[in-house]
Structure 1
């Protein structure tokens, strides 16, 4: 509750929360707000926005409803972003905890693996992974998580290195707790805060990478995504700019909202640090 109160005092955080909450509610309510299949033909091709009450944002080059595509595309983007964030935090937390708690050769080996993944740009790693295994939502999520787990791993490791010398860890050893239980039950929950602070940034990066992969034709072909919509409209920028501009604007607003949420989390943690004796 104290963290929530500090977060609510952040103007940037509140603005971001409002943006993301609006987009998330629209994505959740997609079956009611846009009940028609976004991949189905809904009207004449290239219908301009605001010319038909049934199709307020017009149609694309195949006659598909642009509004339905935007709303259902929000579901895909947020689902991929959140799933990739959870996977990246899970992998990073396990690697960072094991490395920090075990130390020695285990720590050295895991950190060298982390370095190897960190050297490769996230998008190139995701591009290579999806190109090899084929486009699907699951593949895209795994590909993004493989490039995003390194920073949480380093943050968790740094916290574990500090926490493993605390009195409560010594007490757990004295009563005979298993090392794995000490690491994951006693230390990890106290080491997660820095990793959780960058969760919003991982989501934002995941949304952008998913859009880029979809733009290149490496997204799931069975769902509508903003990247696919932008790609399909790029050849008609002169005659029908809304085909690319609308999903592009939705992508920009979503990423901006996520970054503002991250700013709010950072502000809340900074206030906590100032008030902690």
Structure 2
């Protein structure tokens, strides 16, 4: 673990991503402390320009809501959606891929055809259809995004399990009478998981963008502030108040960039660790 951390810290991409993500996490955690009131509340004159009012550093939107408060509370929504969607996708994908790869035969064929069926539909369109039918809320959006993201981890987990299941320690576990499910999830899955975890950064970045796109189309949770809804709000006054869309858009860019760079550092550290093994 110590060598992995040292290897990660030697990666410029990983360190840059860690710094960006640390700032975003700090924003999300400090949002209810620095802005305890509802970020949707009206706090000033509409369309106050940035840096013209000390109490409203980034100005206000068309209704007089604080843009800085919305930006910080929006970071919470984006990170929550990205992290939980990635966790659900990795969990479902790892379980399905492990079962398919370890069982083989008809079970493998059936599960892989299900994976193929989900991969036919682009993730955004699947999330759009699901949210349109069930109604927008944060848990529904997380599940809808994970619904289109679990296939990648499933395929990768299956490939890793296929290469691991014939190794000597797996054969020894069979000889001593361990149950197949116990072998699959206690002996095989932990060794197949590291490459699957490398997909977390891709899934988180994709989830953040999909959530923003859904919110931009008014399919986000109406009870919370999101960067996508802020961008959608600003498009109506893009010529007179471009900052309303630029500020949350810049937040999205930094989030995706930070997640990508952090993921690059993790992949480099894990690849080095696997080479040593």
Report TM bin, short chain. over 0.9
Who is 1:185 aligned against? 186
Who is 2:169 aligned against? 168
Who is 1:258 aligned against? 259
Give the drift of 1:186.
1.1
Who is 2:70 aligned against? 69
Give the drift of 1:104.
0.3
Q: How does 1:120-269 map to 2 (within 5 A)?
A: 120-269=121-270
Q: How does 1:31-110 map to 2 (within 5 A)?
A: 31-110=32-111
Give the drift of 1:103.
0.1
Instruction: Kindly report structure 1 stretches of 4+ aligned residues shifted beyond 6 Å.
Output: none
Give the drift of 1:266.
2.1
Distance 2:142 2:209 in 1: 12
Give the drift of 1:175.
1.6
Distance 1:160 1:270 in 2: 18
Who is 1:27 aligned against? 28
The answer to whether the 8 Å contact 1:26/1:33 transfers is no
Comparing 160-169 with 102-111, which one deviates more in the overlay? Answer: 160-169
Aligned residues between the structures: 276
The answer to whether the 8 Å contact 2:211/2:220 transfers is yes
The answer to whether the 8 Å contact 1:118/1:150 transfers is yes
Distance 1:10 1:43 in 2: 45
Who is 1:271 aligned against? 272
3-state secondary structure, aligned to 1:162: helix
Distance 2:247 2:35 in 1: 16
Deviations 1:4-47 (A, max 9, x none): 11111100110011000110011011111222210101111111
Distance 1:274 1:177 in 2: 30
Deviations 1:41-67 (A, max 9, x none): 111111100011111111100000100
Could you say if the C-alpha distance between residues 273 and 188 of structure 1 is closer, same or farther in structure 2, counting changes exceeding 3 Å?
Answer: closer
Name structure 1 gaps, 5 residues minimum: none
Distance 1:275 1:9 in 2: 17
The answer to whether the 8 Å contact 2:49/2:60 transfers is yes
Distance 1:106 1:18 in 2: 44
The answer to whether the 8 Å contact 2:194/2:270 transfers is no
Who is 2:8 aligned against? 7
Give the drift of 1:275.
4.0
Distance 1:100 1:202 in 2: 22
Distance 1:190 1:267 in 2: 17
Q: RMSD across aligned C-alpha pairs, in angstroms?
A: 1.0
The answer to whether the 8 Å contact 1:96/1:157 transfers is yes
Give the drift of 1:268.
1.7
Distance 2:274 2:166 in 1: 21
Give the drift of 1:274.
4.5
